Structure 1
Amino acid sequence: MAGYIQIILIGLLTAAAALPLDQSWQLVPNADGFLHLVNINPYNLPDVDPNEPVPTFVPEEDIVFRLFTRSNPTAHQLLQIGNPSSITGSNFNSAHQTRFTIHGWGGGGHDGTGSGFRNALLAVGDFNVITVDWSVAAGNPNYIAARNQVGPAGTGVSLLIDDLIAYAGADPNDIYVTGHSLGGHVAANAGKGQGGRLHTIISLDPAGPLFSAGQDDALSPQDAQYVETIMTNAGLLGIGVPLGQANFYPNGGRTQPGCGIDISGNCAHGLASTFYIESIGSTVPFRSTRCASHDEILEGVCTPSGPDANMGGEPSNHGRGVEGIFFLTTNAESPFAQG
């Protein structure tokens, strides 16, 4: 195994050495863990064949919303934007809390994160669990093209929320939107479309390549009443700066125990979802220490500053005065929480 890993390392280093110095390349895994060598410099892209058809993405038509409840925990019901009967004829119940989950690049409506999220929630309560399948855009092998659709995808989620409010009496105060990687920014744009009135957004290692703080379609603290990030590969696949009201950095937020030689960061990147799913039903919390600043996280230290808080969990930290930068340690395997 060690020899095999060395061969991989040599191959990657050789490939990197062969790249033009005026281009920015990064290994980015899709939701299935397959690595893609991506040029993330939008000003130095290869020429586009004018005869090549441009893929279209129409959120109102292309996003697939699958509803799961305790009455249909495994057999989904489809909800459609602009189709009231798809909502009124479903098991959606406005008396119950609603939770959206959104996949990242290359993912789909049937990936493991969505099913894990669904199962964890329905195990602890009566929820309307809605998985958001935006794979028509997120499945584009061109990362840049997929990245540029997080705004429209978020608008589509917001439009369905409008319909849930109008036709089923849903309350924005009962709605959480959770997304991983690119999906973390889709969740943000759903919140922007709702004017920041949604109860909670949980962004799980929101994507870093081609995103920066303050961009119109990037996550911001104003996107919901409470915005939390869980950063597990910050500065590589996840963004390197805090974008939420409360920002949690397990094990320092860059690498994670149990991941071994995580060249691409894919293992650490995916653990944000794993940690959050565990937090939903675990009796052992992900107890975290509030640090003095984000700079301390970068320096590998944490001066206790303010009250501790739990990362993730159901319900969220909304209304508990939780804000700032938090550090915690986890186990290297499940169960990850140390309390």
Structure 2
Amino acid sequence: MVAITFLLLCVVTMGLTDDIVSKLDPGPRYQYMPGPDGRQHLVDLWVKTRNVNEAAKYNPDVQNAYHLFTRQNPTTSQPMVLGNEALVSSSNYDVGKTTIVLVHGWMSDPYSTINRVLVPAYLAAADVNILVVDWSVGAGTINYATAVLNTVTSGEGVARFISWLCGITGTSLTQFHLTGHSLGGHQVGVIGRNLGGVVPYIMSLDPAGPGWLTNDNRFQPNDGLYTEVIHTNVGVMGYLPALGKVDFYPNGGVNMPGCTEPKCDHDRSLYYFAESLTSQFTGRRCLTYLNALTGSCFLTQTLNMGGLEPKTGNSGIYYTETNAAPPFSKD
């Protein structure tokens, strides 16, 4: 009886083994991160066996959902499903228009701030198709390390969906723009990379910092023909160094006027970009991102932050200042 009990104990213990697979960041293993619910969550930045096993269960080709918004249906989406051509043909999708792809972040869903802010802003600024990516099955886990792994898996799946959509409709990849926030700010890079780097415009809005400092899958300058990053909470929720062909650090990129906590700073990138679709934010070029953090930018070149169209051919790091409340532009 004692031998059987010992054997069962060994089996249970082996089943609970949670080996360390990798370390997402070189810094502290644990840190607090504000979630979209505004609460602080203690996250583990070391990838363990359980994270890998959990991530392996996520299949974006089956579990991701896509919601189409147009000026004909600005508030109620039309669903699209990979492999279902009938849904596409019966929708308001217009092959002759630019298609904006929106990607949310950690513990978010189609009702998250990025979509509430940017869907109406885009439709007010231009007659476009908007595809809201719902990868909440992959992003919704409280285990942040798993969500980081799922960010890449989802990006690969979204790229397959876009390729399929182009194949059945005749749409060109040159008609797509990708915009993502937080984890979605890295995912849009993964999407663009898997589409061959030919998407004309990729916008990364305060891409996540934790879990991405040494992550080879992070947003990269050549993920699209023109890539831009707006940093609003660097070193806390957002990524600190420059990532795109063009990087903007409004107000120094950390603490935004009118905000009193990191989540507000992190989300400010959404509101700045939304306003930039119809307004102008003039940025002044900086030598380095360290100069941008302090606003010590004295080069003569200027560039508008955000906007509807890619600023292809431009590069560099820029600083701009905003108001504490709408309108945020000081121009």
The question of a shared fold, defined as TM-score above 0.5 by the shorter chain, is answered with yes
Spell out, residue by residue over 1:140-174, the C-alpha distance to the aligned partner (whole angstroms, 9 max, x if none).
00111001111111111111111221111212111
Tell me the residue number matched to 1:40. Answer: 45
C-alpha separation in 2, matches of 1:112 and 1:296: 30
Distance 2:302 2:330 in 1: 14
Paired position in structure 1 for 2:138: 137
- Please state if 1:68 is matched with 2:69: yes
1:224 maps to 2:224: yes
Q: Is the 8 A contact 1:121 1:281 kept in 2?
A: no
Where do residues 145-224 of structure 1 align in structure 2 (5 Å cutoff)? 145-212=146-213, 215-224=215-224
Name the SS for the 1:37 alignment partner. strand
Which amino acid in 2 is paired with 1:233? N
Are 2:317 and 1:325 equivalent residues in the alignment? yes
CA distance in 2, matches of 1:48, 1:155: 22
| C-alpha contact 2:55 2:146 (8 A) present in aligned 1 | no
Describe how 1:16-95 pairs up with structure 2 within 5 A. Answer: 23-42=28-47, 56-95=57-96
Moved more, 100-109 or 22-31: 22-31
Note if 1:233 corresponds to 2:233. Answer: yes
CA distance in 1: counterparts of 2:147 and 2:54, whole angstroms: 16
Give the 3 Å change call, closer, same or farther, for CA 54–281 of structure 1 in structure 2.
Answer: closer
Greater shift, 98-107 or 24-33, is seen at 24-33
SS of 2:277 mapped into structure 1: helix
Partner of 2:306: 312
Provide the residue aligned with 2:328 in structure 1. 336
In 2: Cα distance, 1:186 partner to 1:130 partner = 15
Output the CA distance in 2 between the equivalents of 1:210 and 1:125. 35
Residue 248 (structure 2) pairs with residue 253 (structure 1): no
1:296 equivalent in alignment to 2:291: yes
Provide TM-score, normalisation by structure 1. Answer: 0.85
Structure 1: gaps spanning 5 or more residues: 1-21
- 1:210 and 1:53, CA in 2 relative to 1: closer, same or farther beyond 3 A? closer
Q: How many angstroms does 1:39 deviate by?
A: 2.4
Alpha-carbon distance change, 304 to 133 in structure 1, aligned in 2, over 3 angstroms: same
- Across the aligned residues of Structure 1 and Structure 2, the Cα RMSD in angstroms comes to 2.1
Bigger shift: residues 292-301 or 94-103: 292-301
2:281 corresponds to which of 275, 286, 290: 286
Q: 1:53 to 1:293 in 2, by over 3 A?
A: closer
296-305 vs 74-83, greater mean Cα deviation: 296-305
User: For 2:162, what is the secondary structure of its paired residue?
Assistant: helix
Alignment CA distance shift 1:222-1:55 (3 Å):
closer
Q: What is the aligned-residue identity percentage?
A: 36
Kindly provide the CA deviation profile for residues 200-244 of structure 1, in whole angstroms up to 9, marking residues without a partner as x. Answer: 11000100101026x431100010000000000112211111110
| C-alpha distance in structure 2 between counterparts of 1:118 and 1:295, whole Å | 33
Q: Give the TM-score of the pair, scaled to structure 2.
A: 0.87
Return the offset for 1:25: 2.4
Q: Higher Cα Rg: structure 1 or 2?
A: 2
Q: CA 1:158–1:88 in 2, change beyond 3 Å: closer, same or farther?
A: same
Tell me, what secondary structure is at the counterpart of 1:312?
A: coil
Residues 111-150 of structure 1: CA deviation (Å, up to 9, x unaligned): 2320221111111221100111100010000111001111
Q: 1:88, 1:167 within 8 Å by CA — same for their partners in 2?
A: no
Q: Which amino acid aligns with 2:321?
A: T
How far apart, CA to CA, are the structure 2 residues paired with 1:164 and 1:61? 15
Cross-structure match for 1:9:
none
**Structure 1 residue 94: deviation in Å?**
1.0
